[in-house]
Structure 1
Amino acid sequence: MELLYLLCSIVYTSTTTLFLSLLLPFRLLIHRLLPSRSAVDSSVSYYEGTVWHDRLRPVRHSFRYTVRYALFDLDKSLETPPDHLSADEARLLARTNGPIFLLTIPPSVGYEQNPLSLYYCYNLEGSSKRLSKCIAQVTNTPWGERVTFVFDPESDLVAKSLQVSPFMDMLGNWKIRANEPGHELSVSIESQHPHHGNYFSATLRAKRIDQTRVSDPAVFFWLMPHKVAIWIYWHALKLWWKNVPFIQHPRYSNPSYREDSAKRDQKLRCVGLDGSNSGETIKFDGCSSGFGGCRFAWRDANWPWS
């Protein structure tokens, strides 16, 4: 059933993509005829860069691909991608009081593929602002499950809380860091495994591009989510070809894997996000999670993966 659903999803996405892509020239024509409708949102910055993946064990496997991201000022942007936190929700979750910026790959011609979205949460200190916290939203493929958590951008250690690949188990932690987005930005994640050590890393490095190059965001991001998906599936096939063990989703082998992740994370942090253990419950994305001692909120997979 799941394989049939995946094949049907690919066919549906391909058909929708083709149809909506054929409409793009008409969209460009309308923008030429009506320049007032073609103005680019000045509250959105555009970045172009490279994603690197490097696996050391049980086999060496590395690859990289070019990627384009948008950085939305959520307090000012006229249009933000669906299925994300609002500025107020992000401030409540991060417990900050300043601007919120969202780094993400917008949907393109009816399709969305976003392994990682990042919120930059600032605190106001007098007349200046300081990057205080980041919020990561990690989404796995093909299940579409998501975990959301707050981390310290300078460097943080987070218990692995999501099955991001069927070729990785759930053991170990993520070491994550992100710099303040400016002319350049970078994000790095390392997997620290109790048996394999630091066996995997993923890095994004990107540069902000001039907005004059983005006459239409729909054209700028055309097929970007599709390219990311193709890279994910292609290199999963390569890992399978290299005889890397296929690991069943933990919901079958360990239904309490989320609770286990939360407990491991508590051991890493000892206390809650703000040094307390208030047990406060915050609801968003259709789920709830206590952020006193646990910083994770999960979104379940949709049918038929659920």
Structure 2
Amino acid sequence: MLPLDVPASQPQLCFGTVRHTRLRPVRNAFAYGNYYLRLPLRSLGSKDFGCALFSRNRFNLLSFVDRDHGDGQQPLLAWIDALLKSEGVADADGEVWLQAMPRVLGFVFNPVSFYFCHRRDGGLRAIVCDVRNTFGQRHFYLLDTGWEIDFGSELTARKVFHVSPFCKVEGGYRFRFTKLLRDGHERTLACIDYDDADGALLQTSVSGVAADVSNASVARAFFCFPLMTFGVVLRIHVQALRLWLKRVPFFSKPAAPNQEVTR
């Protein structure tokens, strides 16, 4: 397993697979190929990517737009630092890696993005999960052990935010993140399992193998996974239709939680 202080300050495109399994009252599972960005926000600063096919805050085949993340107003680093300090995390002064999908031809929908917030000595201090639903709402879950998070350990958060109309707002999430170096390539895995009042209900994961951001990797992403972000929204609705046809109980959207951030 990679030590967290290994220098790796270049933006990455990660190619991998999204998996989702619903265990009851009927089983429903799917998996599909995808890609996502991993950006070192402190190292990157306000720089562009030096890539003709991938732009920052400008239209392109793929693009990263700062206002899609954070509060959409402050610079991303200022926002994440302020959020952490407001929650009592004052020592996440190292690299912040943002894992999210890029815009594709100007469109993006991120069901969940992750901010991996490190201390200056390389230790992983906290993780912020930015969760969004298709109703235009969002919520932040802060994963914080009080000192340092070990890759591979299980982290938990109480569910307070409505994501799927086929799940109640109850129970909690179990998170596990891994980062490996294999055959010279960095591999990341994020697992999020959901338990309701009756036990395990959903098992989800997103995995990827990192490549440097370049014209070649962007072309691979764009042409091998055409219109990926449009496809994310389409697949969400297709899977919702499958669950409805299987007569899985439907729950209306409740009011959004009062708190913007929960632990």
TM-score (normalised: structure 2): 0.73
More helix by share: 1
Identity %: 28
Residues 60 and 215 of structure 1, relative CA distance in 2, 3 Å threshold: closer
Count, aligned residues: 213
The CA deviation string for residues 40-88 of structure 1, in whole angstroms up to 9 with x for no partner, is xx83101011111111111111111111101111123323433213123
- Aligned residue identity for 1:205: S
Name the SS for the 2:195 alignment partner: strand
In the other structure, the counterpart of 2:230 is 226
Whole-Å Cα distance in 2 between the matches of residues 239 and 211 of structure 1?
A: 37
In the other structure, the counterpart of 2:28 is 61
Residues 124 and 180 of structure 1, relative CA distance in 2, 3 Å threshold: farther
Larger radius of gyration: 1
Q: CA deviation at 1:102?
A: 0.6
CA contact (8 A) 2:11 2:212 kept: no
Whole-Å Cα distance in 1 between the matches of residues 253 and 114 of structure 2?
A: 25
Q: CA deviation at 1:216?
A: 5.2
- Aligned residue identity for 1:246: F
Whole-Å Cα distance in 2 between the matches of residues 172 and 63 of structure 1?
A: 23
In the other structure, the counterpart of 1:164 is 163
The CA deviation string for residues 141-175 of structure 1, in whole angstroms up to 9 with x for no partner, is 2x021001211453221111211111111111111
1:249 to 253, 258, 263: 253
Whole-Å Cα distance in 2 between the matches of residues 56 and 222 of structure 1?
A: 30
Name the SS for the 1:235 alignment partner: helix
Structure 2 stretches of 5 or more lacking a match? 1-8, 48-55, 57-63, 71-75
1:89 to 62, 65, 79: 79
Structure 1 stretches of 5 or more lacking a match? 1-41, 252-256, 263-288, 297-306
In the other structure, the counterpart of 2:131 is 138
CA contact (8 A) 2:36 2:100 kept: yes
Matches within 5 A, 1:121-136: 121-125=117-121, 129-136=122-129
Q: CA deviation at 1:210?
A: 4.9
Whole-Å Cα distance in 1 between the matches of residues 218 and 208 of structure 2?
A: 20
In the other structure, the counterpart of 1:114 is 110
CA contact (8 A) 2:43 2:95 kept: no
Matches within 5 A, 1:171-210: 171-180=170-179, 183-195=186-198, 197-210=199-212
Highest RCO, 1 vs 2 (Cα 8 Å, sep ≥ 6): 2
The CA deviation string for residues 240-275 of structure 1, in whole angstroms up to 9 with x for no partner, is 000011111112xxxxx625xx7xxxxxxxxxxxxx
Q: CA deviation at 1:222?
A: 4.8
- Aligned residue identity for 1:295: T
Q: CA deviation at 1:215?
A: 5.0
Whole-Å Cα distance in 2 between the matches of residues 91 and 211 of structure 1?
A: 26
The CA deviation string for residues 104-125 of structure 1, in whole angstroms up to 9 with x for no partner, is 0011113211101111101012
- Aligned residue identity for 1:122: H
Residues 109 and 181 of structure 1, relative CA distance in 2, 3 Å threshold: farther
Q: CA deviation at 1:91?
A: 2.7
Pairwise CA RMSD: 2.4
Whole-Å Cα distance in 1 between the matches of residues 95 and 78 of structure 2?
A: 10
More strand by share: 2
Whole-Å Cα distance in 2 between the matches of residues 227 and 135 of structure 1?
A: 25
